Amino acid sequence: MKAFRLIATFFVAILSACGPTPEKFIEKAQNALAKENYDAALLYMKNAYELSLPKEFFITKRDQSFAFLRASLDGQRVLLVEKKLPQKLFDNTRAVVIDRAKDAQTKRSLPGKIRDVNFSPEGAFAVFLQQPSESLKDCKVLLWSVGDDRLIEVGQTHCVMKPAVKNDGTVWYMRNDQIHVFDLKSEKDNLYNKGRKPEKSAKKFPAYARFYASPDNKVWMIYGAAGSYRLYQLGDKPKLVSKEIASHRLYLISEAKKVGVFIGGAGAQQFVTLNPKDSQIGRRMKAKVWTDAAFMNDKQYYYIEDGILAYRNGKDEAELPFWADQIAIGTKDELLFLSSTGSAMRYAQKPPPAESLRIYNKAVEIDDTKS
């Protein structure tokens, strides 16, 4: 028995040695640099950096890659959708909801290419835009009820739109400039506001709608195109909140359960918070329209600029040693994010080890040379 354990330990060691290591990726990066292939060298160094990080920086295994990350408002439920190779985009796609409080996972296979996804504030439902083929401009709207693992086809919408799902499973989306509301209990689809079409910012151009469900049971819609949007709050009747929206993104501010948007024209944008009771502007701050942002409160937030993750607390600002594509607020003092390689990661105000930072700095040098 003892001999068997020794043999088993030997083979585990061999397998570990054969697997990917930071050193192997660094060697590949050096070979790519010798050929002046800076893009490949940077990618190898990013992989070397992530492999050097402790497990506590990851939500899942390090060899898994994802295209989307969403989180419930309390950060306890995380939705991940796998990243796929270009030639397999229209094969079935795997999605998983990780319940961190219960240490449990719910997995689901989704048909076709997933263009976007939205998570309900409490993380009980997810709504997907699924594109059946590259030639089709309309996507199917799919609702996933995570608790009983049901997948329901709600309707269709243009693939540029973004549906939302509330905590009760009600789905909001747009088709032919009319707002649709799908009721999960009756499984019926109804036209909102008797099918009246909301007013566009520029009537000569097509407008697209992005819906967002907030934890106070409100639904917000940003409607427009090309930097000219209108913000609506959708209650019994639609309420026009602003005609000056500069971006189609709306952000939930975790602690206050408020929403924030960008307003103003090019080069003069402001990020503003809105009071959920009367939709009046609360706080204003100068800001760029970043790739993505996540707000803990109206003073502390993370954002992505030029692919790099950064943090701001009042007037203090710091660049963090991570490349990121998507971010979301996790539990207290924690950020969840997708790295540029698709790894599902977490940052809890603790810096990476010194050796990892040395690899990161080498990667930054390559990135600067490439630029």
266-280 pLDDT, tens digit per residue, is: 667 788 888 767 777
Q: Is 137 exposed, middle or buried (0-12, 13-18, 19+ CB in 10 A)?
A: exposed
φ and ψ of 42, to 5 deg: -65, -45
Tally: H helices and E strands in the chain: 4, 25
pLDDT digits (tens, 9 = 90+) for 201-259: 777 788 999 999 988 888 999 999 877 899 999 988 999 988 888 888 998 887 666 78
Please provide the average confidence, as pLDDT, over all residues in the chain. 88
Q: What's the pLDDT at 279? A: 74
Lowest mean pLDDT among 3-12, 165-174, 305-314: 3-12
Q: What's the pLDDT at 125? A: 98
CA distances from 176 to 84, 196, 198, 220 (A): 31, 11, 11, 19
Count how many residues are written for the chain.
371
Confidence band of 10 (pLDDT split at 50, 70, 90) = very low
- Residue 352, pLDDT > 70, answer yes
Lowest mean pLDDT among 80-84, 262-266, 289-293, 360-364: 262-266
pLDDT digits (tens, 9 = 90+) for 323-338: 999 999 998 889 999 9
- The pTM is what? 0.89
Nearest of 170, 231, 225, 176 to residue 202 by alpha carbon? 225
Greater confidence, 115 or 264?
115
Q: What's the pLDDT at 227? A: 79
Q: What's the pLDDT at 322? A: 97
pLDDT digits (tens, 9 = 90+) for 78-93: 999 999 988 888 899 9
Cα diameter, the chain: 79
Q: What's the pLDDT at 6? A: 36
Greater confidence, 87 or 196?
196
Confidence band of 7 (pLDDT split at 50, 70, 90) = very low
